[in-house]
Amino acid sequence: MNRREALKLALGATAFAALPVALIDTIVDSDIPDTEFAQLLRPKMEKILQQFVFEPNDELTRYHVYCQIQNFLYTIKKGNGISDYCIICDETNNPPSIIDKNQLHVDVFLQKIHSMVHVPIILTKS
pLDDT at 29: 60
Asked if 106 and 37 count as a contact pair (C-beta separation under 8 A), the reply is no
pLDDT at 56: 93
Torsion sign (Cα): 37, 64, 70, 29: positive
Amino acid letter for position 67: C
Domain definitions of the chain by residue range: 3-112
Residue 76 vs residues 73, 110, 115: alpha-carbon distances, Å? 5, 11, 15
The set of residues, in sequence order, having a beta carbon less than 8 Å from that of 57 and lying 6+ positions away, is: 94, 98, 99, 102, 103, 104
pLDDT at 118: 46
24-54 confidence digits (pLDDT tens): 666 656 555 535 665 667 788 888 889 999 9
pTM of the predicted structure, to 2 decimals: 0.63
